[in-house]
Amino acid sequence: MRILVADNDVISRGIMESMLRRIGYDVEVAANGREALDKLLDRNGPRLALLDWMMPELDGPQVCRRIRASGERPYIYVALLTSKDSREDVVEGLDAGADDYLVKPCNAEELKARLRTGVRIVELEDSLVAAREEMRFKATHDALTSLWNRGKIIESLDFALRHVDTMAVLLCDIDHFKDINDMHGHLAGDAVLRELAHRLRSSVRANDLIGRYGGEEFLVVLDGCDSARLPERAERLRNVVSGGSFFTNGGAISFTVSIGAIAVERCASMPAETILQLADAALYQAKREGRNRVAIAGQLV
């Protein structure tokens, strides 16, 4: 693991650097508090730091305070190095945000043991962050397709209606999906859903929205797509996602989709529920007219 040693005394810094390299750390150095702070706030900076208390520009406690106040990086374990050893000094250093406090000159075995504690704290923080992000992902994404789930895509549509002037809302439904499940099995049906999600992702832009609306239905929101461009955009999307078979454990499968679409222009007052109902009605029209086609509801202005 990388560690920063900040000390304006060249000899002390060199001794500490040599000691840390011998016990297996990748060492970076800084000659003053300002340089140390810049290195630690860098996005790819070290996660462990040994800071001398007395340094030019910024002292060790000042560096600690600024690191803790920034909130811009994952947690950084900081130990202060100093010849001060009074209780008041220890309290001051810990109040500044330091995790530990070592009196110079440091004993190599003690330093090694204390840094092991630092590594455990950093690794624990990383695991907690990873667990939190996993929970956040599961709360907003569909487990099968990894697209946004129904709640998140509707929430995103509602937000877009309040902040975007022009968009198109498309409900895409796999044609004869029950027959796919009955003929090839539910695992193959799951594979079809994942393949459709992949084709949809590859067919929309980064600023468009896409989510699994429910079952075999997917919701797509095309940012900036007005009524004039909607027929061409929707037809192109249908062609891409319906085109060609793909292989599963049960053999090659092909599928098509029907799409109900509606253009929304300068209509922030229209609730998402109403727009979805209109798109759903257009989808049923596409189904009635033979499937594998696009039906467009009346323009909302």
Contact present, 291 and 175 (Cβ < 8 Å)? yes
Q: How many CB atoms lie within 10 A of CB 243?
A: 10
Count Cβ neighbours within 10 Å for each residue of 52-67 and write b for 16 or more, e otherwise.
Answer: bbebeebbbbbbbebb
C-alpha–C-alpha distance, residues 242 and 254, integer Å: 8
Determine the angle formed by the axes of helices 272-288 and 150-163, rounding to 10 degrees: 110
Say whether the peptide bond before residue 105 is cis (omega within 30 degrees of 0).
yes
Three-state secondary-structure class, residue 267: coil
Catalytic residues: 216
C-alpha–C-alpha distance, residues 291 and 176, integer Å: 9
Q: Which residues pair with 77 in a beta bridge?
A: 48
Contact present, 262 and 233 (Cβ < 8 Å)? no
C-alpha–C-alpha distance, residues 180 and 186, integer Å: 8
